[in-house]
Structure 1
Amino acid sequence: MAAPLTIAVFGASGNQGGSVAMALLRDGTFKVRAITRNPRKKEVEELKRLGAEIVKADLDNEKSLFDALKEVYGVFLVTEFWQHMDKDREVQQGKKVADISSYLGVKHLVFSGLENVKKLTDGKLDVPHFDGKGEIEEYFRELGAPMTSVRMPGYFENFLNVFKPVKSDKGCYVLDIPMEGVPMDGMSVRDLGGVVLTILKSPEEYIGKEIGLSTDKLTIEEYAAIMSQHTGKTIRDSKISAKDYEKNFPGAQERSKMFQFYMKQPDRNKDLTLMLNPKAKSFEEWMSENKNAFMND
């Protein structure tokens, strides 16, 4: 019997890469090479305990990438915009992995991509943390590389941190998310791993495709109602406009433009997502499991 093929998973100690690495390890079809900048992190130790090969590499370091990608069948790549907030640097990181993967003959690369919003909107909307990933997708296509792009929607987990309900002066809580009544796709980042596993098992079906992911499509008012039901708190949609949201805090302008792009309803396919990962949770199911995380102000 042939030895299992190896998948190199970037960001293995993070949200996306961790989800992918765990799904692959639990399934057992592939060997996992967990790529990390910090092999001493507790998340990495858990992956090692479960059988992953741990390799230290840095997306800015070409030699380390060559060593990390030698003799692998496939790759899961997530790039690192939020670690340095530099779109051009992110694009260069993605291009390095694309070039090295092509040189080494990697057979299938699954990339955590997003749309090039600036290009799609003729410059009207500029969302760097989307646009860089869009440019990386385009570069893979130019190379003719065997790539599948998975495009995540907003994480449900963001409701626990960056978009958590805020206590208002009226005693209730509000979701300050400027979707202006338009439904917004969402998904738990923990469910990405099952999607990527299915894609890697069926390369002939998914190579060359961009797959928009979602497990729910709700208005902010509907998200708030489900949160209220599960937490016992009164949570409402603040109904803030995108224009007013831009004035909220430094950096709000980029987020506002992201939500304006979401209002254009980019392609996110709930049915396909659930086919790829039948265990992926709706927001109702996710809230039922995570309601206690909302109980502390």
Structure 2
Amino acid sequence: MTSKKVIVVFGATGAQGGSVARAILENKKFAVRALTRDVTRPKALELRDLGAEVVKGDLNDKASIEAAFQGAYGAFVVTNFWDHLSKEKEVCQGKMVADAAKRLGLKHVVYSGLENVKRLSGGKLEVPHFDGKGEVEEYFWSIGVPMTSVRLAAYFENFLTLWKPAKASDGDYYTLALPMGDIPMDGISVADVGGVVSSIFNSPEEFFGKAVGLSAEALTVQQYADVLSKSLGKEVRDAKITPEAYEKLGFPAAEEMANMCRFYRMRPDRDVKLTHRLNPKVKSFSQFLAENKGALKGI
């Protein structure tokens, strides 16, 4: 019996990496080498029980990445800007991984990328957690690594935390503050990324050298509010906040989030039809909320 090709999955105990590792294990075409900083974490042990090889790997440790790539066919690479809040560090980590992939001859890398907004906007907008990933995308392709970038839409999960509806001060209703105006915003659950990535690994020739924009659906802020109203049984309205007002809200990254929404207003390429083809089980916002009702209790 021929042994399965190995795919190294970065951040395997995190949201994106965990989804990808599980989907590839379910697919059964490839073996999974799950990369994590702590191999004793419960989520790491769960993956081992599901059949993954779990190894220690750290994006700040080049030797650990090169060791993980030994004998591997491919890799799913995700970096986390929010770990350190440094675009420069994210770019440095991404380029190190790209160099290792090139040197060790990986046949297919799927990278969790995003657009370089600063470059695309001629310097008018900066969204560091996008821009660094955009630079890394460009670097992967420039050195000839066979790479597919998956560019996620806004996470539905953000509606459970950062974008949770807030009680209005002047009435018995809630508001949803997202500076999108009437322009639809693409969204997807991080949990559905794995099925997409697994399908991309199954069809490398179709996706080499491409950026694939992922979206379950695109809704206006009022439409998101309507779905939340139905799910919660409480009225949620669009706060109709502008990017200018949003960036003055004062929380860390408020300006960055405002610029992200300014970029989203330009309708970057996210392909709903292709996303559903690659993962027919991808959830709508309504289905996502039905599965996560407990997270919004107390509203």
TM-score range, shorter chain: over 0.9
| Structure 2 equivalent of residue 283 of structure 1 | 285
Give the counterpart letter for 1:56 in structure 2.
K
Deviation at 1:229, TM superposition (A): 0.6
Q: Quick check: 1:231–1:292 contact (8 Å CA) kept in 2?
A: no
| Structure 2 equivalent of residue 160 of structure 1 | 160
Give the counterpart letter for 1:272 in structure 2.
L
Return the alpha-carbon distance in structure 2 between the equivalents of residues 166 and 271 of structure 1. Answer: 32
Deviation at 1:289, TM superposition (A): 2.0
Q: Normalization by structure 2: what TM-score?
A: 0.98
Give the counterpart letter for 2:70 in structure 1.
K
Please identify, of 230-239 and 119-128, the stretch whose mean Cα deviation from structure 2 is larger: 230-239
| Structure 2 equivalent of residue 209 of structure 1 | 210
Paired residues for 1:77-96 under 5 Å:
77-96=77-96
Give the counterpart letter for 2:267 in structure 1.
Q
Deviation at 1:29, TM superposition (A): 1.1
Paired residues for 1:224-239 under 5 Å:
224-239=225-240
Please identify, of 243-252 and 142-151, the stretch whose mean Cα deviation from structure 2 is larger: 243-252
Return the alpha-carbon distance in structure 1 between the equivalents of residues 122 and 201 of structure 2. Answer: 34
Return the alpha-carbon distance in structure 2 between the equivalents of residues 292 and 231 of structure 1. Answer: 10
| Structure 2 equivalent of residue 244 of structure 1 | 245
Q: Quick check: 1:15–1:189 contact (8 Å CA) kept in 2?
A: yes
Return the alpha-carbon distance in structure 2 between the equivalents of residues 35 and 93 of structure 1. Answer: 15
Deviation at 1:60, TM superposition (A): 1.2
Give the counterpart letter for 2:159 in structure 1.
F
Give the counterpart letter for 1:295 in structure 2.
K
The SS at the match of 1:182 is coil
Give the counterpart letter for 1:254 in structure 2.
E
Give the counterpart letter for 1:231 in structure 2.
L
Return the alpha-carbon distance in structure 2 between the equivalents of residues 229 and 36 of structure 1. Answer: 39
Q: Quick check: 1:180–1:242 contact (8 Å CA) kept in 2?
A: no
Asked if 1:36 is matched to 2:30, the reply is no
Where has structure 1 moved over 4 Å in runs of 4 or more?
none
| Structure 1 equivalent of residue 125 of structure 2 | 125
| Structure 2 equivalent of residue 196 of structure 1 | 197
Return the alpha-carbon distance in structure 2 between the equivalents of residues 128 and 72 of structure 1. Answer: 31
| Structure 1 equivalent of residue 98 of structure 2 | 98
Encode CA deviations 1:231-287: one digit per residue, 9 max, x unaligned: 101111100000011110142111100000000000000000000001101112212
Give the counterpart letter for 1:263 in structure 2.
R
Return the alpha-carbon distance in structure 2 between the equivalents of residues 143 and 226 of structure 1. Answer: 45
Q: RMSD of the alignment, in Å?
A: 0.9
Return the alpha-carbon distance in structure 2 between the equivalents of residues 112 and 87 of structure 1. Answer: 15
Return the alpha-carbon distance in structure 2 between the equivalents of residues 37 and 290 of structure 1. Answer: 28
| Structure 2 equivalent of residue 179 of structure 1 | 180
Return the alpha-carbon distance in structure 2 between the equivalents of residues 61 and 30 of structure 1. Answer: 26
| Structure 2 equivalent of residue 270 of structure 1 | 272
Unaligned runs of 5+ in 2: none
Return the alpha-carbon distance in structure 1 between the equivalents of residues 42 and 229 of structure 2. Answer: 34
Unaligned runs of 5+ in 1: none
The SS at the match of 2:34 is strand
Encode CA deviations 1:62-92: one digit per residue, 9 max, x unaligned: 1111111111001000012100000001001
Return the alpha-carbon distance in structure 2 between the equivalents of residues 293 and 77 of structure 1. Answer: 28
| Structure 2 equivalent of residue 219 of structure 1 | 220
Which one of 269, 292, 295 corresponds to residue 293 of structure 1?
Answer: 295
Q: Quick check: 1:6–1:30 contact (8 Å CA) kept in 2?
A: yes
Count of residue pairs brought into register by the alignment: 297
* Identity fraction in percent: 52
Paired residues for 1:44-123 under 5 Å:
44-123=44-123
| Structure 2 equivalent of residue 258 of structure 1 | 260
Return the alpha-carbon distance in structure 2 between the equivalents of residues 227 and 44 of structure 1. Answer: 33
Return the alpha-carbon distance in structure 2 between the equivalents of residues 227 and 155 of structure 1. Answer: 15
Return the alpha-carbon distance in structure 2 between the equivalents of residues 144 and 209 of structure 1. Answer: 13
